[in-house]
Amino acid sequence: MSQLAPYASHPDRSRGRLHPEPHREMRGPRDIFQRDRDRIIHSIAFRRLRHKTQVFISPDGDHYRVRLTHSLEVAQIGRTIARALGLNEDLTEALCLAHDIGHPPFGHAGEDALEEAMRPFGGFDHNAQTLRTLTQLESPYPLWSGLNLSWELLEGLAKHNGPVAKPGWALAEVNAGFDLNLTCWPSLEAQIAAISDDIAYDNHDIDDGIRAGLLDIDQLLELPFVAERWEAILSRYPDVRRRRLIGELTREQIGVMVNDVIESTRERIHALRIADVDDVRNAGVMIGGFSAEMAPRERQLKAFMYENLYRHPTQNEAALGASKIVRELFAAYHNDVSLLPTEWRENLPEHDPARSRHIGDFLAGMTDRYATDRHREICAPKI
């Protein structure tokens, strides 16, 4: 790793883990953030992301992105920005890899359905579910629940979009056990992980949308930011067919956005006289992010994607089916807990809201195909 900047998260200054871990040197010369990253990669929850929706629900093709490939792409962007700014690359990568672990099956359609089903029991939020999964549900160690991740990683996941004034029940439970200082801003590594997520899905979803036939380049050229990049690409490759240049457009836009984040973040670090990580947390503003010029362009691109891709009629139709699966599965398990697998049934709390939240945990961990199979098995009419 290159030399860390003074305002980076240094592993030797970490606030540590909730549970002490003696004899950690027996498992290789890794610092605390490298171990965090490796624990996430080796977790069951991370492996399940390969069968969870990114944009398209149960896509027919093998080339569409899923939560796993999206998380890897976010991590690649995050490491690039972190390296340029002298931040801790390992912590940044770990945050990027873990940020979507709490997503239920079927993307936002599944989350909306699960939130509705759990509303009488406190509701559901995928960010908080990420923390809940990593601190309680994923438990490969003999002496404690969860992965026992560093304070800095959990803090970054809890508030990568900024301070949290009113945490929901799931985040409040995690915070009660390990105070994450929710009212302050997170590390720069967490801020860079958050903006890397935006850069990745803003641009990679364009590629998937065009591949699926739901978007075309002429629609995108209505956006001045995209049109400017596209004209530059056409001038460089006038004899190459347009479809082959989509990947070049994606790369070019990512590059422009990444460079913008690096330069604007440096400017804010200098303007705010950020000297250490405590200055970052107490700055009162988000430091890592787009410039004043790029931010509205990115918002315009995101709005375009919601209107033309995420809410496309074919997407809405698939979302209705996915919502039905999640709602009916929750109702089925809630009405007959004997349908739960043995290990989940044995740990089922006796009373609500803990009882229904336990069922919500089971549903949130499902992959798209597992949820579809269980719904067919449990809820389909018997002939």
Q: Is residue 20 part of a domain?
A: no
Domain match, 49 and 92 both? yes
Q: What pLDDT score was predicted for residue 58?
A: 62
Domain match, 125 and 38 both? yes
Domain match, 196 and 183 both? no
Q: Is residue 258 part of a domain?
A: yes
- CATH code for the domain in which residue 181 is found: 1.10.3210.10
**382 confidence band (pLDDT: 50, 70, 90):** low
Domain match, 343 and 212 both? no
Domain match, 100 and 126 both? yes
Contact 157, 103 (CB under 8 A): no
Domain match, 85 and 137 both? yes
180: left (phi over 0), alpha (psi -120 to 50) or beta: alpha
Count structural domains, the chain.
3
Does residue 59 or residue 321 have the better pLDDT? 321
Q: Is residue 6 part of a domain?
A: no
Positive or negative, the CA dihedral 9, 14, 19, 22 is positive
Cβ count within 10 A of residue 296:
11
Rounded to whole angstroms, the Cα distance separating 368 from 132 reads: 20
Q: Is residue 244 part of a domain?
A: yes
Mean pLDDT over 319-339 rounds to 95
Q: Is residue 111 part of a domain?
A: yes
Domain match, 158 and 289 both? no
Residue 1 has pLDDT above 60, yes or no: no
Q: How many helices (H) and strands (E) does the chain have?
A: 18, 0
Domain match, 179 and 213 both? no
Q: Is residue 200 part of a domain?
A: yes
Q: What pLDDT score was predicted for residue 2?
A: 65
Residue 24 has pLDDT above 70, yes or no: no
Structure tokens of 251? 């790369």
Domain match, 274 and 126 both? no
What is the overall mean pLDDT for the chain? 93
Q: Is residue 18 part of a domain?
A: no
Domain match, 113 and 212 both? no
Cβ count within 10 A of residue 51:
17
Q: Kindly report the CA angle at 128 between 199 and 262, in degrees rounded to 5?
A: 25
- DSSP letter for 2, please: P
Does residue 149 or residue 309 have the better pLDDT? 149
- State what percent of residues in the chain have pLDDT above 70: 96
Which among 141, 161, 187 is the end of a domain?
A: 187
**62 confidence band (pLDDT: 50, 70, 90):** low
Distance of CA 212 to the CA centre of its chain: 23
Domain match, 46 and 182 both? yes
Domain encompassing residue 81: 31-187
Q: Is residue 249 part of a domain?
A: yes
Domain match, 224 and 369 both? no
